[in-house]
Every structure is written in structure tokens, then in C-alpha cells.
Structure 1
């Protein structure tokens, strides 16, 4: 899998655990949603915990765990399935401040929208990374300076810019 952050391919500092793997005493680990409750009970302060969830997850499922989580990865099972974007926005609205990752078959054209919804990183399969290199992801990130959507990436929306211009 290739990891994209700020339009660049980067190394992943998180370790994804299989459900049968033992929980380590320390480190940055990602567990599946069914394993989350157990991991929260077992892991101490030396571990940094993340979870990977399906894009169909109800945000309420994660509410109790959110304060302890440093990372949430939302799976995108298909290119045309955008439910993960909605889930990302809902988690950000509920105060999640950690790393939010989109994982799956996303393309560079979806990158600005992913950033606008609150994602920090995008993880794609190696076959997609071979077809869409770093230059395409960087170009996609910088394709728009504003959008109609009020985002989480620090960029203002077109509507906010119009309001400021009207007040001047």
C-alpha cells in the first residue's frame, strides 16, 4: 500500500495488526473495529492506538473511544462509494483531532475532496500508485484554492470569501 500525505508518497509509521496478532506493549498500532474494545482495555499509555473501520460505521460506535484514539482509518471498498467522506466529516464534527486516513481505491481526483472532508492521509493499493504517481497527487492537491465545501484543511470556502468581500 502507498501512503499519501500533503501530496507526497511517505512511509507509514503505523503498524496494522491482524486480529490474531498479540497486542504489543508499545508503539503505534492499528486494530480492527471488532478488536477495539479489547485493545482499549489492554493497552496502556505506552501504546498509541488507531482503528480501521468500514465506511458504513455509525459515528456513535466510536464516540466513547475517540478520546483515546490517535488514528482512524476509514475503508473505501470501491471508487464510487463515497460514504467514507461523510463519516470523516461526522468524526471531525464530533471533535476527533487525530490522524484520519482514507484507505482503499481512491484516485487523485478525489484527493481535494478527501482533504476537505477532514482526511490527513490517503492509502491506496500499489497498483493504483503505479498508475497515479506522486506528481498527480500533488497536482490534484493544488488544483483548487477554494471550494464550495467548508473544509477542515484550513482553506476557506467560496461562500466565506464572498462574505468577506461583501463586508469590505
Structure 2
């Protein structure tokens, strides 16, 4: 899997833990949603904890674990399934300040929207990374200075800019 941050392909410092693997004493690990409660209860504070959440996850089960989580990776099973964008917004509104990752078959065309919904990183399969190289992700990151919806990237929306200009 290729990891994209700020339009660049980067090395992933996190390790996905299989459900049958023992919890480590150190490092950065990502556990499945079904294993989250156990991991929160049994991991040392020195272990950075992340969770892999399906895009159909309700935010309430994650709410209790938010203070302990350093990363939430939301799974996108297909580029046309946008439920993960809504979940990301809800998680950010709930106060999560850690890394929010979109994981799956996302396209470079969706990068700005993902950033606007609060995602920090995008994880895509290697076959998709071969077809959409780093230059495409960088171009999409800076494609538009403003959007119609308020988000986490640009300060203010197009509508707010128009209102300010009309008020002058």
C-alpha cells in the first residue's frame, strides 16, 4: 500500500496488527475495530494506537476511545462509496485531533475533498499508485484555493469570500 501525505508518497510508520497477534510493548500499531476495546484496556501508554474502521462505523463506539487513539483509518471499499467522508467529518466534530487516514481505492480527484473532510493521509493500493503517481496527487492538493463547503483545509468558503466582498 502507498501512503500519501501533503501530496507526496511517504513511508508508513504504522503496523497493522492481525487479530490473532499479541499486543506489542512499543511502536505504532493499528488494530481492527473489533479489537479496539481490548487494546485500549491492555496496551501500555507508550504504544501509539490506531484503529481500522469500516466506512459504515457509527462514531459513537469510537467516542470513548478517541482520547487514546493517535490514528483512525477509515476503509473505503470503492472510490464511489463516499460514506467515509461523512464519518471523517463526524469524527473531527467529535474532537479527534490525531491522524485521520482514508484507506482504499480513492482517486487523486478526491484528494481535495478528503482533505476538506479532515483526512490527513490517504492509503491506496500499489496498483492504483502506479496509475496515479505523486505528481497527480500534488496537483490535486493545490488545485483550488477555496471550496463551497467549509472544511479543514482552506480558511473560509467561496460563499464567505463573496459575502465579504459584497459587504465592502
TM (norm. structure 1) is: 0.97
Question: SS of 1:30's equivalent?
Answer: strand
Question: Counterpart of 1:38?
Answer: 38
The CA deviation at 1:79 is 1.2
Question: SS of 2:30's equivalent?
Answer: strand
Give me the whole-angstrom Cα distance separating, in 2, the residues matched to 1:154 and 1:107: 20
Question: Counterpart of 1:5?
Answer: 5
Question: Counterpart of 2:66?
Answer: 66
For structure 2, the 5+ residue unaligned runs are none
Question: Counterpart of 2:112?
Answer: 112
Give me the whole-angstrom Cα distance separating, in 2, the residues matched to 1:154 and 1:119: 13
Instruction: Confirm or deny: 8 A CA contact 2:145 2:154 kept in the other structure.
Output: no
Question: SS of 2:67's equivalent?
Answer: helix
* Mean CA deviation greater in 82-91 or 20-29: 20-29
Question: Counterpart of 2:156?
Answer: 156
Instruction: Confirm or deny: 8 A CA contact 1:145 1:155 kept in the other structure.
Output: no
The CA deviation at 1:70 is 0.8
CA offset digits 1:22-42 (Å, max 9, x no partner): 110111110000000000011
The CA deviation at 1:154 is 4.0
For structure 1, the 5+ residue unaligned runs are none
Give me the whole-angstrom Cα distance separating, in 1, the residues matched to 2:12 and 2:129: 15
Instruction: Confirm or deny: 8 A CA contact 1:111 1:140 kept in the other structure.
Output: yes
Q: CA RMSD in A?
A: 0.9
Question: Counterpart of 1:132?
Answer: 132
Give me the whole-angstrom Cα distance separating, in 2, the residues matched to 1:53 and 1:163: 39
Question: SS of 1:66's equivalent?
Answer: coil
Question: SS of 2:161's equivalent?
Answer: helix
Give me the whole-angstrom Cα distance separating, in 2, the residues matched to 1:161 and 1:46: 44
Question: Counterpart of 1:83?
Answer: 83
